[in-house]
Amino acid sequence: MSLKVAAYVLGAFLLFRTAPAQEQTKLVKIEEALKPEIPRVLCLNENIATGAQPKNDAFAKLAQSGFRSVLSLRTENEGVDLKKDRELTEAAGMQYLHIPIVSAAPDTNRIADFINAVDDPK
């Protein structure tokens, strides 16, 4: 993992850990609402959450929770219907971004694309 990516991840972690108590309570409520539909969901702040593969109903719940985009890092080889994810995301009124990253050999351009997408959420 490059120093820039490690620093970015650490920064995101610190941002979450230092959020005011009221904001953390709100984030926990959002996580609890999304947990049945998104395994291992974690809200880093009001704009960014991470989790495992969402179930179909999750996309509407994400939009209802105020999220505006879904960023998928999955590759086509992972057995996920990416087209269906895009359709469900867009049907919920959100933007779908797809930046496939192979975890065993991440491409630095794709990592840069990811950082840019997270730095400028739409």
Can you give the pLDDT at residue 122?
61
Mean pLDDT by 10 residues, the chain (122 residues): 46 50 82 93 88 94 92 90 96 94 86 84 62
Strand partners, 95: 69
Strand, helix or coil at 51? Answer: coil
**In sequence order, what DSSP letters do the residues of the chain get, joined into one string?**
--HHHHHHHHHHHHHHHTS-HHHHHHHHHHHHHHTTTSTT-EESSSS-EE-SPPPTTHHHHHHHTT--EEEE---GGGS--HHHHHHHHHHTT-EEEE----TTS--HHHHHHHHHHHHS--
Can you give the pLDDT at residue 115?
85
Can you give the pLDDT at residue 58?
94
Can you give the pLDDT at residue 10?
46
Can you give the pLDDT at residue 2?
45
Cα–Cα distance, 59 to 85 (Å, whole number): 8
* CATH number of this structure's domain 19-119: 3.90.190.10
The predicted model scores a pTM of 0.75
Can you give the pLDDT at residue 35?
94
